C-alpha cells in the first residue's frame, strides 16, 4: 500500500489524527468541526492560557460557547504547546496569522516559525495544509522547499495543500461545516488526499488546479469586498452632499435580482483579512512587473462604541474602530470605548490602550463630548444613547432618521 493509499484509508475509517496549529478564530472552529466529525484532534498553540481553557472545556471566543469545546474534549480533543507531538498527527493544518510588516509587506514569520517547530517531527505519510491567507506562491516557494529539505518527496511520501480559511465569525447562517472549502494541491495526489480529508468534515470541497489558484482565489474574495466597501463609502459621501439617504439607495439597488451585491457604508473595514490582503497581492504583483463637523478635537472626550471589527463578536483584529481611537488621540482628544463583547482592551502588536469597556449609563454617556458608533452591536441601547449623548457620529447607519445631536458619518 502506498503512502497515499494508507492515508486515504485512514481518513475513510476516521482513524486519522488531525493536528491544528493555531487555535484562534480559524483554528478552533476547525478543530471542533473535525472532532464533531469523529476524528481525534490535537490542537497546538503557544498561548498557555488558551491551552488551559480548552483542556478545561472552556471557550475564549465570544461566539463559540463552552458546550462545543466540552463536547470535543469528551470526544478526545486536547490542546498542547508541545510541538514534538506533531508526529502523532497524520494531518497538520496551519491556521496562524499572516499580518503585515511595518512597510506593509507580507509577514510570514508565524507560518515559518510554526513550520520550523514542526519540522523535526514530520514523518512520511503526513499531510500538511496551509489555511493562512497569503500571496500566490507561498505554499510552493516557502513551504515545499522546507519540507523537501527534510528528505521527503512531496506527492509521494508527503502531501501538501493550500486550503484557505473562510470563517465569518458570528454569522449564524454559515458555520465551518457549511462553508464550501477550496483546496489546491502541490501535485494531483496531494489534491486527492486534501479533498478526502476536508470532505470528511466539510459539506462541500471545491478542488482547484494548484495551490497558487487557491491562494489567489482567497485574495480575490477579500479584495472584492475591500473594493466594494470603499466604493460604497465614497458613494455615501456623494449621497450625503446631495441630501440622499445612501441606505435607501442600497436597499433599492438590491432589489435587482442579478448583477448587484449590497454593501453597506461604515467607518472602514476590519478583521484579519480584508484590510491586509490587498497588500499581499500588491507586494507579489511588484515582483512581476471630508472634514468632520463638530467641536474642536483637542481636549475633547470621545467615546467609541464598539471596537470589534463587526457586530456581535469579540474579534478586534484590524478593526477600524481602533484606528479611529488612535487618530483621535493623535489629534489631541481623549478616547475611551464601550464594547459589551470586549471587556478590556486586548493586547495588539500595533495598538496599545490601557482601557476597560465603559458601562453605558445615562450619566456616563452624557459626560462625553461625542460618541462614535463604530460597531453596531445589538446589545447597545440605541434609544438611550440618542437621548443622552451630546453628539453621535453614526458610522454604521444605525440611526436612519435625522436627529439634532446626530452626525451621519
Q: Tens digit of pLDDT for each residue in 190-222?
A: 999 999 999 999 999 999 999 999 999 998 888
Domain tally, the chain: 3
Of 95, 183, 190, 273, catalytic? 273
Claim to verify: residue 198 and residue 141 sit in the same structural domain? yes
Q: Which regions of 154-242 does DSSP assign to beta strands (E)?
A: 159-162, 181-185, 205-208
Residue 294 lies in a domain: no
Judging by DSSP bridges, how do beta strands 181-185 and 159-162 pair with one another?
Answer: antiparallel
Average pLDDT in the 292-309 region? 79
How confident is the model over 64-80, as pLDDT tens digits? 999 999 999 999 999 99
Residues 407, 393: Cα–Cα separation, whole Å? 5
pLDDT for the residue numbered 292: 34
DSSP, res 56? T
Claim to verify: residue 226 and residue 330 sit in the same structural domain? no
User: How many CB atoms neighbour CB 178 within 10 A?
Assistant: 10
Residue 309 lies in a domain: yes
Torsion, Cα 292 297 303 304, to 10 degrees, reads 50
- Domain CATH for 73: 3.40.50.720
Is residue 346 exposed (0-12), middle (13-18) or buried (19+ Cβ within 10 Å)?
A: middle
Q: Is 147 helix (H, G, I), strand (E, B) or coil?
A: helix
User: How many CB atoms neighbour CB 220 within 10 A?
Assistant: 12
Burial 240-268 (b: 16+ CB within 10 A, else e): eeeeebbbeebeeeeeeeeeeeebebbbb
Claim to verify: residue 108 and residue 253 sit in the same structural domain? no
pLDDT score of 46 more than 90: yes
Residues 78, 389: Cα–Cα separation, whole Å? 48
Q: Is 146 helix (H, G, I), strand (E, B) or coil?
A: helix
In 3D space, the residue among 301, 285, 308, 298 whose CA is nearest the CA of residue 336 turns out to be 301
- From 167, 184, 214, the end of a domain falls on 214
State the DSSP string of 323-350: HHHHHHHHTT-EEEEE-TT-SBPPP-SS
Q: Which regions of 95-151 does DSSP assign to beta strands (E)?
A: 127-130
- Of 7-21, 163-177, 265-279, 345-359, minimum mean pLDDT range: 265-279
Residue 257 lies in a domain: yes
Average pLDDT in the 73-95 region? 96
Question: What band does 172 get if pLDDT is binned at 50, 70 and 90?
Answer: confident
Q: Structure pTM? A: 0.71
Average pLDDT in the 34-63 region? 95
Residue 292 lies in a domain: no
Claim to verify: residue 266 and residue 125 sit in the same structural domain? no
Residue 53 lies in a domain: yes
Claim to verify: residue 37 and residue 157 sit in the same structural domain? yes
Question: What band does 117 get if pLDDT is binned at 50, 70 and 90?
Answer: very high
- From 286, 312, 340, the end of a domain falls on 286
How confident is the model over 259-271, as pLDDT tens digits? 888 888 877 655 5
pLDDT for the residue numbered 173: 82
- Of 178-182, 228-232, 273-277, 285-289, minimum mean pLDDT range: 273-277
pLDDT score of 290 more than 90: no
Average pLDDT in the 39-52 region? 96
**Half-sphere exposure at residue 190, Cβ-oriented, CA atoms within 13 angstroms:** 27
- Cβ neighbours for 201, distance < 8 A, ≥ 6 positions apart: 33, 34, 36, 37, 39, 176, 177
Question: What band does 291 get if pLDDT is binned at 50, 70 and 90?
Answer: very low
Residue 293 lies in a domain: no
Residue 121 lies in a domain: yes
DSSP, res 357? P
Claim to verify: residue 150 and residue 251 sit in the same structural domain? no
- Contact (CB, 8 A) for 200 and 11: yes
Beta bridge partners of 372: 304, 393
pLDDT for the residue numbered 274: 52
- Domain interval for residue 31: 3-214
In 3D space, the residue among 392, 393, 396, 374 whose CA is nearest the CA of residue 384 turns out to be 392
Question: What band does 405 get if pLDDT is binned at 50, 70 and 90?
Answer: low
Claim to verify: residue 193 and residue 312 sit in the same structural domain? no
pLDDT score of 294 more than 80: no
Average pLDDT in the 308-324 region? 89
pLDDT score of 99 more than 80: no
Claim to verify: residue 7 and residue 77 sit in the same structural domain? yes
pLDDT for the residue numbered 277: 54
pLDDT for the residue numbered 223: 82
Claim to verify: residue 54 and residue 195 sit in the same structural domain? yes
Residue 394 lies in a domain: yes
- Domain CATH for 252: 1.10.1040.10
User: How many CB atoms neighbour CB 119 within 10 A?
Assistant: 14
pLDDT score of 384 more than 60: yes
Residues 160, 320: Cα–Cα separation, whole Å? 35
pLDDT for the residue numbered 63: 86
- From 230, 257, 286, the end of a domain falls on 286
High-pLDDT (> 70) share of the chain, %: 89
Claim to verify: residue 177 and residue 193 sit in the same structural domain? yes
Claim to verify: residue 47 and residue 113 sit in the same structural domain? yes
**In the annotation, is 21 catalytic?**
no
Average pLDDT in the 389-404 region? 78
Question: What band does 399 get if pLDDT is binned at 50, 70 and 90?
Answer: confident
C-alpha of 242 from chain center: 36
- Cβ neighbours for 284, distance < 8 A, ≥ 6 positions apart: 106, 135, 136, 137
Claim to verify: residue 28 and residue 176 sit in the same structural domain? yes
Q: How many residues are listed for the chain in this entry?
A: 409
pLDDT score of 333 more than 80: yes
Residues 393, 396: Cα–Cα separation, whole Å? 9
Question: What band does 272 get if pLDDT is binned at 50, 70 and 90?
Answer: low
CA 81 vs CA 16, 54, 211: distances in Å: 20, 12, 28
Amino acid at each position: 500500500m502506498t503512502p497515499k493509499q494508507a492515508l486515504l484509508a485512514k481518513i475513510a475509517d476516521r482513524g486519522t489524527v488531525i493536528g491544528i496549529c493555531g487555535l484562534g478564530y480559524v483554528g478552533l472552529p476547525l478543530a471542533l468541526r473535525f472532532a464533531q466529525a469523529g476524528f481525534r484532534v490535537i490542537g497546538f498553540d503557544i498561548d498557555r492560557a488558551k491551552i488551559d481553557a480548552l483542556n478545561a472545556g472552556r471557550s475564549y471566543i465570544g461566539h463559540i460557547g463552552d458546550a462545543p469545546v466540552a463536547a470535543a474534549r469528551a470526544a478526545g480533543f486536547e490542546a498542547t504547546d508541545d510541538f514534538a507531538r506533531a508526529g502523532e498527527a497524520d494531518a497538520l493544518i496551519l491556521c496562524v496569522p499572516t499580518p503585515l510588516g511595518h512597510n506593509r509587506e507580507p509577514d510570514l514569520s508565524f507560518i515559518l516559525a510554526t513550520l520550523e517547530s514542526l519540522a523535526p517531527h514530520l514523518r512520511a505519510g503526513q499531510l500538511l495544509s496551509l489555511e493562512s491567507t497569503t500571496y500566490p506562491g507561498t505554499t510552493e516557494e516557502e513551504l515545499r522547499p522546507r519540507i523537501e529539505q527534510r528528505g521527503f518527496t512531496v506527492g509521494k511520501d508527503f502531501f501538501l495543500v493550500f486550503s484557505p480559511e473562510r470563517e465569518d465569525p458570528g454569522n449564524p447562517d454559515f458555520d465551518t461545516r457549511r462553508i464550501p472549502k477550496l483546496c489546491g494541491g502541490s501535485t494531483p495526489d496531494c489534491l486527492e488526499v486534501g479533498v478526502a480529508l476536508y470532505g470528511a468534515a466539510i459539506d462541500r470541497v471545491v478542488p482547484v488546479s494548484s495551490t497558487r489558484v487557491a491562494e489567489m482565489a482567497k485574495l480575490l474574495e477579500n479584495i472584492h469586498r475591500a473594493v466594494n466597501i470603499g466604493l460604497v463609502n465614497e458613494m455615501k459621501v456623494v449621497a450625503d452632499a446631495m441630501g440622499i439617504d445612501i441606505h435607501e439607495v442600497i436597499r433599492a439597488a438590491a432589489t435587482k435580482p442579478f448583477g448587484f451585491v449590497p454593501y453597506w457604508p461604515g467607518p472602514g473595514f476590519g478583521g484579519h483579512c480584508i484590510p491586509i490582503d490587498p497588500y499581499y497581492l500588491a507586494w507579489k504583483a511588484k515582483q512581476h512587473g471630508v472634514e468632520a463637523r463638530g467641536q474642536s478635537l483637542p481636549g475633547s472626550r470621545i467615546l467609541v462604541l464598539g471596537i470589534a471589527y463587526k457586530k456581535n463578536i469579540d474579534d478586534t483584529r484590524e478593526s477600524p474602530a481602533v484606528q479611529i481611537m488612535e487618530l483621535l488621540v493623535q489629534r489631541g482628544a481623549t478616547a475611551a470605548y464601550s464594547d459589551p463583547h470586549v471587556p478590556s482592551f486586548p493586547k495588539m502588536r500595533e495598538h496599545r490602550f490601557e482601557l476597560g469597556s465603559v458601562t453605558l449609563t445615562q450619566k456616563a454617556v452624557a459626560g462625553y463630548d461625542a460618541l462614535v458608533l463604530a460597531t453596531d452591536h445589538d446589545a447597545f441601547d440605541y434609544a438611550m444613547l440618542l437621548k443622552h449623548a451630546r453628539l453621535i457620529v453614526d458610522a454604521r447607519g444605525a440611526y436612519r432618521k435625522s436627529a439634532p445631536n446626530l452626525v451621519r458619518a
